[in-house]
C-alpha cells in the first residue's frame, strides 16, 4: 500500500518517469521503503487508471519512449490525506539474523562469534553510508532545490538511521563479549 504513497510523494516534488522514481528511492527512502522497477511500472499504471497521476510521452530513439508522470489534483489530495493521518501501530519487523541468533544457543561459541563479527562488518559499512553518502546528498539536494522544510525532515530520518546503526554496533560489541564469556 505504501509504494503508492512513495510514488505520489516523489511526484509531489515534480514530474518524473518510473525509472527516475526508482533512482530517487534508491538514494533516499530505500532505507525504510524500497521497490523494484518490476513493481513500480505496474503500480504507476494502476495509479494512472485511478486518475491519481497522468503521463506525457516523450519520444526517444534507441530506448523506449519516456513516460513522464505528473501528480493529478486527486492524487495530491489522496497523498495529503494519507500524510496527515497519524500512524497508530508499530510496524512489525522481520529480521532474519535475530531469528537465527535467537536459536543459536545450540551452536558452539565460535560459530556464533563468526556470525556476530560478520554483522559488525555489515553494519560498519551501513553506518559509513549514512554518514558519508546520505548526509552530503541531502545537503546538496536542499541547496539545489531550496527545499529547506523537506530537508529538515529528510535529515531527521537519516539521523534515526545513523543512530540505529550505532546502537546495533554497540550491541554487537556487548553481544560478542557476552558470548565469549557465557556460551
Which residues contact DNA by CB under 7 A? 1-3, 17-20, 23, 34-39, 41-42, 44-45, 60, 62-67, 92, 94
CA distances from 153 to 24, 28, 77, 108, 147 (A): 16, 12, 21, 45, 10
The site partner of 106 among DNA, its own copies, none (C-beta below 5 to 8 Å per kind) is: its own copies
Of residues 175, 165, 170, the one with CA closest to residue 31? 165
Closer CB to its own copies, 64 or 96, in the complex: 96
Closer CB to its own copies, 11 or 44, in the complex: 11
Q: Which residues contact 40 (CB under 8 A, 6 or more apart)?
A: 3, 7, 18, 21, 22
Q: Is 68 exposed, middle or buried (0-12, 13-18, 19+ CB in 10 A)?
A: middle
CA 120 from centroid of its chain's CA atoms? 21
The site partner of 163 among DNA, its own copies, none (C-beta below 5 to 8 Å per kind) is: its own copies
Minimum Å gap between C-beta 111 and its own copies is 6
Minimum Å gap between C-beta 57 and its own copies is 27
The site partner of 126 among DNA, its own copies, none (C-beta below 5 to 8 Å per kind) is: its own copies
The site partner of 59 among its own copies, DNA, none (C-beta below 5 to 8 Å per kind) is: none
CA 38 from centroid of its chain's CA atoms? 17
Minimum Å gap between C-beta 134 and its own copies is 12
Amino acid at each position: 500500500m505504501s509504494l503508492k504513497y512513495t510514488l505520489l510523494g516523489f511526484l509531489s516534488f515534480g514530474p518524473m518517469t518510473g525509472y527516475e522514481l526508482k533512482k530517487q528511492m534508491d538514494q533516499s527512502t530505500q532505507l525504510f521503503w524500497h521497490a523494484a522497477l518490476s513493481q513500480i511500472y505496474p503500480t504507476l499504471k494502476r495509479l494512472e487508471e485511478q486518475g491519481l497521476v497522468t503521463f506525457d510521452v516523450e519520444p526517444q530513439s534507441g530506448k523506449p519512449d519516456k513516460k513522464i508522470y505528473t501528480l493529478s489534483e486527486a492524487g495530491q489530495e489522496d497523498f495529503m490525506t494519507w500524510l496527515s493521518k497519524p500512524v497508530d501501530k508499530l510496524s512489525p519487523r522481520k529480521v532474519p539474523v535475530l531469528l537465527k541468533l535467537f536459536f543459536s544457543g545450540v551452536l558452539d561459541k565460535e560459530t556464533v562469534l563468526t556470525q556476530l563479527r560478520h554483522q559488525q562488518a555489515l553494519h560498519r559499512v551501513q553506518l559509513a553510508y549514512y554518514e558519508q553518502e546520505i548526509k552530503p546528498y541531502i545537503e546538496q539536494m536542499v541547496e539545489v532545490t531550496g527545499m529547506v522544510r523537506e530537508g529538515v525532515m529528510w535529515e531527521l530520518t537519516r539521523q534515526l538511521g545513523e543512530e540505529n546503526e550505532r546502537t546495533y554496533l554497540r550491541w554487537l560489541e556487548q553481544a560478542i563479549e557476552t558470548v565469549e564469556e557465557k556460551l
